[in-house]
Amino acid sequence: MPHPFSLSTAIAYVNGPPHIGHALEFVEADCLARYHRMIGDEVYFLTGTDEHGSKIVQTAEKLGIGVRELVDMNAEKFRTMMAQYRISYDQFIRTSDQKIHWPAVEKIWKKMVEKGDIYKDEYKGLYCVGCEEYKVEKDLVDGKCPSHDKAPEEVEQVNYFFRLSKYSDQIAEILKSQQVKILPNFRANEIIALCERGLEDVSFSRPNEQLSWGVPVPGDESQTMYVWCDALTNYISALDYANEGELFRKFWPVDCHVIGKDILRFHAGVWIGMLLSAEIPLPKAELVHGWIHFEGGRMSKSMGNVVDPVDLAQHYGVDASRYYLLAEIPVGQDGNFSYELFENKINADLANNLGNFVNRVLSMTERYLNDVVPPHKQDIPSEVDDLWQDYHEAFVEYDHQKAAQAMIGLVNLGNKLIDDAKPWAMAKNENQSEDLRQVLRRLLKMVLHLAFMLSPFCPEKAEQIAASFDLDDQLDATGLEKLQQNTLLDQVKQVKKTNVVLFARIEPEKSKVHQTS
């Protein structure tokens, strides 16, 4: 029976279109989802958009359009970008959805009220609109929010608060024991230290006259729920927590939240606190990615160095863009982007190495065997099993970069086999005809193994490789089982080499390096 595996991205805030950081997060989650489907798990992959809050209203006012028009327009931009990047989500949740989302938010609010963890109080202090949170002086650098380089506003108002401070010690122990596993591990230490210093209570509402766009507080429509109680609840509202339906029973607790480092405090602090208060099981893991910098510095519109993920994929190809984000950006760390780094990575790993290997094997099969697959059994090198073990272990630890390295290790092994065996020399010697057939069969098997390893990273190109064997519909758990049993190639009598280049080199005329030099 398939093992259920659930994961989610953070829901994207729709005050603007998607950027390269969103693409990184969606592709990371999609890679995990595709891997788990490939090994036979029953996957539920959730993503969506966060559509409430002051920034949404302010942006709509600046643009001179209605709030609903803004959120609909930008939510569609996210859907379009996800379709472009082949993000294989199962559900796209929107927090403005009053039928699916709002009942769950109201339910968890009432649970926290019953626990005595929601209270009303007057607040006076500093508030950063960009972060959607209150600040204290120690959070600021030269009087400004370090994330947005802007001084917070002074506000004075009556809000509902969540008694997060009550759960400081409990959350610290949960993170220390890895009951909720934060990956990479050093990220957990940051939150544990905050818990040990004592978490502060969190504002969960705003007066309706200041913010009417959002979920009304149950029993007090003079207040609107604010950001974190509303947004974080999407992970269970999408699973029908309101009715504790089948999806909730099967896929909660979630196996992995994929989030950015800037919202870890809310997921490892506020979210866990909310779940403890409402007596809901806790997520199993949170995979935290860093930021993408441009040529070592932060991207900003004012500097003109913001990388548009839509343009990137249109120019270089979707799978090349996916591969760079998954194989080059360090898991959990800030990563660097430049067009020179991108083009060098794609040329080295994909065009010159992986694509060239596949082309060499298929070309030699065409030239020396008329595309016919030799019927004789031939084991693959034992190193392939070792690389699969590395590949699987990497995904267990949610480390897609290490998994990509194992895949490239398979390519290197195949190229070495070609260089050592020299099939072109064998073809000139009639006495080595059987040896040639054996070597090419072994190489064809390695190409099939590569198609499976590649599929979570570059699904379109993996299907293109498998199509050469007429197996493009078998890159799934059943096909993987046959591959591991050494029987999948037995289904194939003939291969077909297409004229479509798997990964073309990025030549100077298509390079974008000159545009930023």
Listing DSSP states for 256-317 in one string gives: EEEEEGGGHHIIIIIIHHHHHHHT-PPPSEEEEE-PEEETTB---TTTT-PPPHHHHHHHH-
Vertex 267: Cα angle to 266 and 273 (nearest 5) = 85
Residue 500 contacts residue 461 (beta carbons within 8 Å): no
CB-CB neighbours of 130 under 10 Å: 14
What residue has token string 């818990």? Answer: 195
Q: Which amino acid is at 43?
A: V
Name the β-bridge partners of 92. Answer: 47
Cβ atoms 71, 14 nearer than 8 A: yes
Dist. CA 28–CA 456, nearest whole Å? 10
Dist CA 294 CA 200 (whole Å): 35
Where along the chain do its domains lie?
A: 4-290, 338-491
May I ask the CATH class of domain 4-290?
alpha beta
Residue 203 burial (C-beta neighbours within 10 Å; 0-12, 13-18, 19+):
buried
Q: Which residues lie closer than 8 Å to 422 by C-beta, 6 or more apart?
A: none
Query: What stretch of H or E contains 326?
Result: helix 318-327
Q: Which residue has the tokens 């096909």?
A: 479
- What is the token pair recorded at 268? 């490892």
User: What is the C-alpha to C-alpha distance for residues 286 and 277, in angstroms, rounded to an integer?
Assistant: 19
Q: CATH classification of 338-491, choosing from 1.10.730.10, 3.40.1550.10, 2.40.50.90, 1.10.630.10?
A: 1.10.730.10
* Residue whose tokens read 């839509």: 310
Largest CA distance in the chain: 91
Nearest to 232 by CA among 186, 174, 272: 272
CB atoms under 10 Å from CB of 35, counted, come to: 23
Give the integer Cα–Cα distance in Å for 132 and 229.
12
Cβ-based burial of 255 (10 A; exposed 0-12, middle 13-18, buried ≥19): buried
Rounded Cα distance, 313 and 310, in Å: 5
As a whole number of angstroms, the distance between CA 509 and CA 516 comes to 15
Instruction: Look at the chain and count its residues.
Output: 517
For residue 199, the SS3 value is coil
Distance between terminal CA atoms of the chain?
55
| Residue 116 near residue 92 (C-beta atoms within 8 A) | no
pLDDT 10s digit of each residue in the chain, 517 long?
A: 789 999 999 999 999 899 999 999 999 999 999 999 999 999 999 999 999 988 899 999 999 999 999 999 999 999 999 999 999 999 999 999 999 999 999 999 999 999 999 999 987 778 776 666 667 677 777 788 877 678 888 877 899 999 999 999 999 999 999 999 999 999 999 999 999 999 999 999 999 988 889 999 999 999 999 889 999 999 999 999 999 999 999 999 999 999 999 999 999 999 999 999 999 999 999 999 999 998 777 776 656 678 899 999 999 999 999 999 999 999 999 999 999 999 999 999 999 999 999 999 999 999 999 999 998 776 788 899 999 999 999 999 999 999 999 999 999 999 999 999 999 999 999 899 999 999 999 999 999 999 999 999 999 999 999 999 999 999 999 999 999 999 999 999 999 887 778 999 999 999 998 664 4
What separation in angstroms does the CA of 401 have from each of 32, 58, 174, 450, 513? Answer: 12, 39, 27, 16, 24
3 state SS of 412 = helix
